[in-house]
Amino acid sequence: MQYWPDQTNTSVTRGKFDITVTSLVPSAEYQIRKIQLKSKFDPEHERTVTHMLYTAWPDHGVPRNAMSLISFIHRVRREHPVSLTTPLLVHCSAGVGRTGTFILLDVSMQQMKRECTLSVFQHLKNIRTQRMKLVQTQAQYVFIHDSLSELVVCGETDVAAGNIRIRMMQLQKPVPGGLVGFQKQFETLEEVSSQCEASYQEAKAKYNAGKNRFPDKLPNELGRVRLRFGPKPGSDYINASFIDGYKQRKAYIATQGPMEGTVADLWRMIWEHNCSCIIMLCQTQEKGQVSSLDPFTHC
């Protein structure tokens, strides 16, 4: 159940405690609230509690993006440094599966940073003596290893906004292998992205082949925009993907330029998903070839 107020600057009472949300900072994958806690046992004092809700964990399975949870843990540790001696309260529904995954990943990241070693199995064995079934499924156990592997390959890439010029200067310097930092980082990104398992079942279906401008630029099943079903196979398909923004899930739709056979589908998508603004970043013809039909004259 939700145990905090829906709105900021409103209060609820739970037993002998008054809970007030004083601020809310939303993002695409988590929400951070500041909560003022007052106790009738000690009315002269109040405490401030930070509530961090990770919203990108699906009801079943594991997060599809390992770096999403890693970035969230970094954000948690900026709010609650390891140096603090007060405990970090973590919960999900049962307090074992997702909770254990978060704790084991956090512990492993700390060990890797301090000792350059990892003891995932041993840590899990130890914490399971303190609470049963922590890290409940094999998928969660594999996800922890995938996340740590990705962290080793990519490193910590977050940078304070005020340090961006310093970071750019660092990335312009040569690194082992004859590349500059920007090249190395982009190669790493390409390598990690190529390892992501994704299904392109509808995009690669024969009945949808004519709807793809390029056969190697396809939307995967997890992120593709679905049109409302029609009577024919593929009637829900368009070469378009939902993209998360900074503070909002599915804040963007990324799509190809419409073709003769997909202009009507483009307008159908605009209507069904209530798009009120269209950004076009190409000319209708580029390099002597049609790059996008004019959606206003080809319907």
Residue at a domain's end among 173, 194, 215: 194
Sheet containing strand 11-14, edge to edge, reads 11-14, 17-26, 30-39, 46-54
pLDDT band at 284 (very low <50, low <70, confident <90, very high): low
Together in a domain, 23 and 41: yes
CA dist., res. 56 & res. 140, Å (int): 15
Together in a domain, 182 and 74: no
Q: Are 95 and 136 in contact (CB under 8 A)?
A: no
Q: For the chain, what is the domain count?
A: 3
Does any domain span residue 4?
no
Question: Please, what is the average pLDDT of the chain?
Answer: 85
pLDDT band at 290 (very low <50, low <70, confident <90, very high): low
Together in a domain, 168 and 257: no
Together in a domain, 107 and 148: yes
pLDDT: which is higher, 119 or 294:
119
Together in a domain, 120 and 212: no
Contact partners, residue 193, CB within 8 Å, separation at least 6:
none
Does any domain span residue 296?
no
pLDDT band at 20 (very low <50, low <70, confident <90, very high): very high
Together in a domain, 174 and 265: no
* Residue written as token pair 């007060």: 86
φ, ψ (nearest 5 deg) of residue 254: -100, 130
Together in a domain, 225 and 260: yes
* pTM for the full predicted model: 0.68
Residue range 92-98: mean pLDDT, rounded: 88
Q: Are 5 and 14 in contact (CB under 8 A)?
A: no
Q: Annotate the chain with DSSP letters as a single string.
A: ---S-SSTT-EEEETTEEEEEEEEEE-SSEEEEEEEEEETTSTT-EEEEEEEEE----SSS--S-HHHHHHHHHHHHHHS-TT--S------SSSSHHHHHHHHHHHHHHHHHHHS---HHHHHHHHTTTSTTSS-SHHHHHHHHHHHHHHHHH------GGGHHHHHHHHTSEETTTEEHHHHHHHHHHHHHHT-----TTTTSGGGGGG-SSTT----TTTEEEPPP-SSTTTTEEEEEEE--SSSTT-EEEEPPP-TTTHHHHHHHHHHTT-------S-SEETTEE----TTT--
Together in a domain, 125 and 180: no
Does any domain span residue 244?
yes
Together in a domain, 188 and 262: no
Together in a domain, 215 and 170: no
Given a cut of 80, whether residue 180 has pLDDT beyond it is yes
Identify the pLDDT of residue 31.
92
Dump pLDDT digits (tens) for 155-178. 777 777 788 888 888 888 888 888
Does any domain span residue 199?
no
Together in a domain, 76 and 131: yes
Domain encompassing residue 220? 206-290
Identify the pLDDT of residue 243.
85
87: CATH: 3.90.190.10
Residue range 46-64: mean pLDDT, rounded: 89
Residue range 272-289: mean pLDDT, rounded: 75
Residue range 244-264: mean pLDDT, rounded: 83
Together in a domain, 23 and 147: yes
